Structure 1
């Protein structure tokens, strides 16, 4: 194996059992030294403990790799791969899946936290529903310090939508369906998860557990926010246009959908920061007189003036929606999500 794509850990970082694992947990990571401890600990502390844990350090320079070495030295389930070259979100995700031995794959994001019962609940869901190829869970949002800032929202399950009600890091899927769909695609970097789901839906049902088995962190260290801003904006614009069935070829230097700045600004808002998206939205957004455009401009203006009150009102509205719809969705059942 090339020097810059080495695998480390006790006994190669493999499980002590000779039998191949049924479940592999996979986690690419780049420059998340402040959060990776919590992510790794939440997987190693699962009530279902029979799995291998593949981690790829995607060219970190902030001390993340040293932290991962310490974890790999302590737990033989960890298989740590490291490289000085960053493959990017899609290809680093393909790498860990490609090297996994399990027929079931659970994704984990390195700045998030999994509920202790997450893997057990998802395994049970896939076992009970052989027609399903993927299961995710609803989530609670946390900020940089790990404080709960965003409540669960079961209303996300109540109406058809093009966007997944679960975060990328919460999913478990069948390896065969992933391979049939062709894995992650690099031309969908920064929305490679949604692109994958839409293709996997042809292979089987996509399920959602309404319990919040995942804590999704909003922080300025998100890959979307630390990568080239113009590249990320262009990619997110492609996402919205493809979902809407619009033409995306030949759009260089044209104005972008206002939703781009809502998407990027929301991460900073829930991280406790001021999004600062109003000016780029006004300068480069394809703003019309339609209700959606005006609502996003109003959101960006409010976020600029008082992000604290905007967070409070959004949190209150989410809690009310969740309470109103909650009786329809039970934590110990699963529900189908079909992207529209």
Structure 2
């Protein structure tokens, strides 16, 4: 049995997926399987993955043709994962060569921690422009407020997935499925940490910001209301989802500019 299962779901990722896959196949830790679920792509994604898999048999390609959607694809991939630990990965990000080693060592040394993530470098077509400064230990309130993990950095014990179930496949969580899953996990008493190291380059270009539209903000606010009682969040914090809704009044370009200023790395 392999130690690690790397899980990626992709849809029409032909533009970036090859470099993302290469960053995983180039890891210093090599005992892993790489489960890639193709979410009914209409571009050359499947052909690209097939070509790489002919060279490296750690890749297992699953085509999700019958039940399209990110969360259903992730759940299909989870059922196939054999590893003791599951590392998430997205089709447009770049993992550092030591990512799996570093996260695995942390989880093996800290048995009470269910999830480990890391800080990230932000990049676009012009290269790296900033880095995150995530909180190390995330509380239940942090998660509910939306202070969550950078999903393509996380490694999770597979036993935790088995105990909590997979991702919510309803339309209510489209674009907020990871937030919803972390709330579910924390509501059941599990918790995680972010490592100080930047173990992944996270793509934040114009296309990424377009996905954070007002429909997504509305869904996020609704999930905050949904999880508040279930996570025993104090009533006075109800201003948090209301503030999220107020962002709908702010132009997207202004939010993007604020993000770049906030996370800009002056040493670059």
TM range (shorter): 0.7 to 0.9
1:265-301 Cα offsets, whole Å, 9 max, x none, are xxxxxxxxxxxxxxxx34xxxxxxxxxxxxxx4xx38
Give the match for residue 131 of structure 2.
Answer: 151
Q: Which runs of 5+ in 1 are unaligned?
A: 1-19, 247-255, 263-280, 283-296, 321-340
Count residues with an aligned counterpart. Answer: 250
2:262 to 314, 329, 335: 314
Q: 1:151 to 1:179 in 2, by over 3 A?
A: same
Q: Give the drift of 1:82.
A: 1.4
Q: SS in structure 2 opposite 1:119?
A: helix
CA RMSD, 1 decimal: 3.1
Match of 1:289 in 2: none
Query: 2:168 corresponds to which residue?
Result: 185
TM-score using structure 1 length: 0.65
Counterparts of 2:252 and 2:42, CA distance in 1: 36
Contact 1:157 1:165 in 2 (8 A): no
Higher relative contact order (CA 8 A, sep 6+): 2
Unaligned runs of 5+ in 2: 231-240
Residue 254 (structure 2) aligned to one of 282, 295, 303: 303
- CA distance 1:301–1:34, shift in 2 (3 Å): closer
Taking structure 1 as reference, are residues 303 and 118 closer, same or farther at Cα in structure 2, changes over 3 Å only? same
**Map of 1:208 onto structure 2:** 194
Q: Which of 15, 26, 36 pairs up with 2:17?
A: 36
Alignment partners' CA distance in 2, 1:55 and 1:37: 12
The alpha-carbon distance between structure 1 residues 237 and 85, as it changes in their structure 2 partners (threshold 3 A), is: farther
Match of 2:222 in 1: 238
1:23 aligns with 2:4: yes
From the CA coordinates, give the structure whose radius of gyration is larger. Answer: 1
What is the 5 A alignment of 1:219-298? 219=205, 221-222=207-208, 225=211, 232-242=216-226, 257=242, 259=244, 262=247, 281-282=248-249, 297=250
Distance 1:69 1:102, change over 3 A: same
Q: Is the 2:9–2:38 contact (alpha carbons within 8 Å) kept by the matching residues of 1?
A: yes
Identify the residue that residue 328 of structure 1 maps to in structure 2. none
| Structure 1 runs (4+) greater than 6 angstroms displaced | none
> Residue by residue, what CA displacement relative to the aligned partner does 1:236-291 show, whole Å, maximum 9, x if unpaired?
23234335559xxxxxxxxx9562584xxxxxxxxxxxxxxxxxx34xxxxxxxxx
Classify 1:42/1:133 alpha carbon distance in 2 versus 1 (closer, same or farther; 3 Å).
same
Equivalent residue in structure 2 for 1:174, among 140, 143, 157: 157
Distance 1:59 1:224 in 2: 22
Distance 1:32 1:153 in 2: 28
Deviation of the 1:205 alpha carbon: 3.3
Structural mapping, 1:37-116, within 5 Å: 37-85=18-66, 87-116=68-97
Inter-CA distance 151–180: structure 2 relative to 1 (3 Å threshold): same
Q: Residues 93 and 223 of structure 1: is their aligned pair in 2 closer, same or farther, counting only changes over 3 Å?
A: farther
The answer (yes or no) to whether the contact 1:139–1:166 under 8 Å persists in 2 is: no
Q: How far off its partner does 1:46 sit?
A: 0.4
CA contact (8 A) 1:164 1:194 kept: no
Normalising by the residue count of structure 2, what TM-score does the alignment of the two structures yield? 0.81
- Alignment of 1:197 with 2:148, yes or no, is no
